[in-house]
Amino acid sequence: MSAFTDADLAAIAAVLDAAVPGSVDAGALDYVERLLGALDHDPPHLWAAPGEWAGDGQQWLAIGPWERQAWAQRIGQWRDVYRRVAAGEADDSDHRVVHVHACEATYGDPAYGGNRDGAGWQRIEFPEPLFPPARSTR
Amino acid sequence: MNDCDVIVVGSGPGGATAAEVLTAAGLSVVVVEKGRNHLVSLEAPYEPLQHFSNDEIAQRRHLLGPDPLLEPRTYRRGPHDGDRLMIGEVNNLPSTVGGGGVHADAKLPRWREEDFHLHSSRGPIEGAEVADWPLQYEDLEPHYGAVEQLFGVAGEDGTNPFAAWRSSPFPMSPGDDMPMALVSAAAAERAGMHPYRAPTGVNSRPYDGRAACVDCGFCGGYGCPVHAKGDPIAALQRALRTGRCRIIAESYVTELVLDPAGRRSTGVRYLDLSQHPEPPTRELRAGTAVVLAGGAFETPRLLLRNGLGGDLVGRFLTCHHQTFTLGIFEQPTGGERGRSVTHLHDDLVVDSPELRAAAGAAGLPWLRGGVVEHGAGTGPVEEATTYPTGRQHLESMASSGLRRHTWVFTMQGEDLPQWSNRVDLDPSVRDAWGLPAGRVTYAPHAHDLAASAYAAPLHEAVMQDAGATVAFSATSPPQGDPTAHAELNPLGMAPASRHVMGTARMGTDPAVSVVSPEQRLWDVDNVVVCDSSVFVTSAGYNPTLTLAALAHRAASLLAGSQPLSDRDVR
């Protein structure tokens, strides 16, 4: 999200929070930032691995070259979405993308940067997943 | 120089079962899988990989494939929709080593005797191509027993009064019941139904070297973190451990290679998807046969690209007309833990005066519904995306009408085979490798809609008797204006069912079938189809055990081997 100014980030945060109130406190900006930068890492930060629980300490699963191509396309489209959101030019389709990301950030696995300390799950009384136990934000 | 005796295209339940049977009989096998491998180490001793976790995000990010940007599918209800109504996910099954078995929650019921001779027992229905199968339940029964043993099916005899006869016991008893399933089952019993504990390919005890299930709650839609689901890792491991099986992942079969006369296949050509951006085409040669097990969507797509199988390839697509009845309860239903579904009832599959009356009222000679699953709601992210945005979102999530307080009856309604329902090649949409995308043309028959209309109020009443404050029903594919379902319906506008069947029908007459009773292509007889493409009718039961039993039978015939029950599985 380094391509965004503080003003852009504030605008994006406002739209995320409007979609799912509390999502920014849950880490939605961090979630979006990590998502848009997922391919900057090797392996990409797209699929969290079970980690220590699985015995090998692997944190992220490798992806294939064609999956990388698809994700580059998808993330490129989402970068455009967030540019429009920041510019106040988002349409209904863009708002739908933001809504989905806000939901994922609030109620998804903390490994991806959202759902800080599992607060989203606690609020809806969703039990801590068993495999792996207690995966926190990486 | 041949690379092996048999090439198996696809590593899901059908391909894995065929590979197990063939290698056990001493044949060498190469399994070619389009997707990536998250399931099992391909190095001895072939231990399970540890890639799966209770992670809704990874699931939503296509961990199990296929990625719809690489492999789009298209859908239309009929020619009146033009070339297509939408592009995206249609009837998607995983594209990964293990195929559809990886994501399924592994309900593995046998079909009933009548399911194999529906035309004889019930008669024709106008507008549908109801036909008898070229084999009967008794032909398949030993193979049902064999694959139950291979996958490790947990179930109990004697509790389903409508179950077909069986010659062997379940390998293990059922796992723990989901508490809410006991409540809904009791209500179903009060309504005169006969619920029973679902036969499930999930270990209730350590079995065949794999762990027992601990009911983590991430079953349907997810790979199993502890590999308590036996389908199909058990079969793949056994094949690999013979030393006569090799699995090549990320390999997309594009062509069946034929001999000069065009009557036998000598192998396949495939794109090596480990290479990018120009995947090389490689060739494998088989001395004996090629087994097609890519599923009832990809198998006809391959045959159509190659001009094989005749004019019926792709036709008579069935995928179960699904009717969901949701009950909303004041108390939490506890669906976060358990195996997604632990109870079923079959009452709407069997003939009854009530169903006959409903058929008559709809102007139909007979009516069959399908097996009904008693199950939990969705995951929290999926639930969250369903609710409207804004301030009410928090309240919706807190009250959790679609997850924490939800219980669902899912009827896998038998959809009748129709000439117009089919998989074919989209005229202009291409996949990432330039090959025509598969297109589904599908609309339910009046029978399917009538069965759904009969079942919905019945199940809503059962839900209310179970304590639901609200009960309502929906279907997939949805009814009404499809554009209303394009964005907000979590199931989408296309059929969401993963039970894809019937696109390379088996029969005794080449004029009305694609494969023989031995599941061999009529026009290239060493190509054996070992997936649900060969189904003649859809039965209204989960298809996996039946397609695996058929694969077991066809592979046994190919190899001249004995059923697995004669071999060693604990």
pLDDT tens digits, one per residue of B60-75? 999 999 999 999 999 9
Q: How far apart are CA B141 and CA B373, in angstroms?
A: 23
Q: Are B384 and A95 inside 8 Å of each other by CB?
A: no
Q: Which of B67, B251, B337 to mutate to test the interface with A (most CBs of A within 10 A)?
A: B67
Q: Which of A16, A31, A67 to mutate to test the interface with B (most CBs of B within 10 A)?
A: A67
Domain ranges (residues) in chain A: 15-123
Which sign does the torsion angle of CA B238, B239, B244, B247 carry? negative
Does the global pTM surpass 0.90?
yes
- Chain-centre distance for alpha carbon B114: 20
CA distance B444 to chain A (A): 30
Query: What residues of A are in contact with residue B385 (Cβ under 8 Å)?
Result: 99-100, 103
Give me the amino acid identity at B241: R
CA distance A4 to chain B (A): 24
pLDDT at residue number B566: 42
Which residue is closest to A15 within chain B, CA to CA?
Answer: B390
Q: Which of A18, A70, A131 sits opposite B53 (nearest CB)?
A: A131
Per-residue three-class SS string for A79-116: HHHHHHHHCCCCCHHHHHHHHHHHHHHHHCCHHHCCCH
If you search the block for the tokens 């088996």, which residue do you land on? B506
Q: How far apart are CA B339 and CA B228, in angstroms?
A: 11
Q: Are B54 and A130 inside 8 Å of each other by CB?
A: yes
Query: pLDDT (tens digit, 0 to 9) for every residue of chain A, 138 residues total?
Result: 557 999 999 999 999 999 999 999 999 999 999 999 999 999 999 999 998 777 777 899 999 999 999 999 999 999 999 999 999 999 999 999 999 999 999 999 999 999 999 999 999 999 989 998 766 555
pLDDT at residue number B488: 64
Q: Which residues, at least 6 apart from A125, have a Cβ–Cβ distance to it below 8 Å?
A: B332, B404
Q: Are B53 and A129 inside 8 Å of each other by CB?
A: yes
Q: How many A-B residue pairs are in contact by the CB < 8 A criterion?
A: 141
Q: Are B439 and B84 in contact (CB under 8 A)?
A: yes
Per-residue three-class SS string for B358-382: HHHHCCCCCCCCEEEEEEECCCHHH
pLDDT at residue number B564: 44
Q: Which of B69, B273, B336 sits opposite A126 (nearest CB)?
A: B336
Q: Which of A64, A65, A127 sits opposite B336 (nearest CB)?
A: A127
Give me the amino acid identity at B554: A
Q: Are A124 and B67 inside 8 Å of each other by CB?
A: no
Tell me: the pLDDT tens digits for B209-268?
999 999 999 999 999 999 999 889 999 999 999 999 999 999 999 999 999 999 999 999
Query: What residues of A are in contact with residue B57 (Cβ under 8 Å)?
Result: 48, 104, 108-109, 111-112
CA distance A124 to chain B (A): 5
Tell me: the pLDDT tens digits for B337-358?
999 999 999 999 999 999 999 9
Average pLDDT over residues B390-416: 96
Q: Are B61 and A46 inside 8 Å of each other by CB?
A: yes
- Structural Rg of chain A based on CA atoms: 15
Q: Are B273 and A21 inside 8 Å of each other by CB?
A: no
Give me the amino acid identity at B566: D
Identify the band that residue B487 occupies on the pLDDT scale cut at 50, 70 and 90. low
Query: What residues of A are in contact with residue B226 (Cβ under 8 Å)?
Result: 131
- A9: its two tokens: 């980030």
Q: How far apart are CA B327 and CA B135, in angstroms?
A: 40
Which residue is closest to B486 within chain A, CA to CA?
Answer: A93
Q: Is the pLDDT of residue B423 over 70?
A: yes
Q: Which of A123, A125, A129 sits opposite B54 (nearest CB)?
A: A129
**Quick one: which H or E segment has residue B75?**
strand B73-76
Q: Are B69 and A100 inside 8 Å of each other by CB?
A: no
Tell me which residue of B298, B323, B264 sits closest to B479, measured CA to CA: B323
CA distance B303 to chain A (A): 24
Q: Which residues, at least 6 apart from B337, have a Cβ–Cβ distance to it below 8 Å?
A: A127, B178, B215, B216, B217
Q: Are B337 and A127 inside 8 Å of each other by CB?
A: yes
Mean pLDDT of chain B: 95
Q: Is the pLDDT of residue B559 over 50?
A: yes
Q: Which of A31, A96, A131 to mutate to test the interface with B (most CBs of B within 10 A)?
A: A131
Query: What residues of A are in contact with residue B400 (Cβ under 8 Å)?
Result: 124
Q: Are A123 and B57 inside 8 Å of each other by CB?
A: no
Q: Is the pLDDT of residue B14 over 90?
A: yes
pLDDT at residue number A136: 56
Query: What residues of B are in contact with residue A70 (Cβ under 8 Å)?
Result: 67, 69-70, 432
pLDDT at residue number B479: 85
Q: Are A64 and B36 in contact (CB under 8 A)?
A: yes
Average pLDDT over residues B369-386: 96
Q: Are A18 and B389 inside 8 Å of each other by CB?
A: yes
Q: Which of B34, B61, B404 to mutate to test the interface with A (most CBs of A within 10 A)?
A: B61
pLDDT over 90, % of chain B: 94
Q: Are B276 and A19 inside 8 Å of each other by CB?
A: no
pLDDT at residue number A51: 82
- Which of these ranges, A38-47, A49-58, B389-398, B531-540, has the smallest mean pLDDT? A49-58
Tell me which residue of B412, B345, B414 sits closest to B184, measured CA to CA: B345
Q: Which of B273, B394, B398 sits opposite A64 (nearest CB)?
A: B273
Query: What residues of A are in contact with residue B65 (Cβ under 8 Å)?
Result: 67
Q: Which of A21, A48, A107 sits opposite B58 (nearest CB)?
A: A48
Q: Is the pLDDT of residue B570 over 70?
A: no
- B27: its two tokens: 């044949």
Q: Which residues, at least 6 apart from B379, have a Cβ–Cβ distance to it below 8 Å?
A: B56, B218, B403
Q: Are A108 and B225 inside 8 Å of each other by CB?
A: no
Which residue is closest to A120 within chain B, CA to CA?
Answer: B380
B4-9/B29-32 β-pairing: parallel
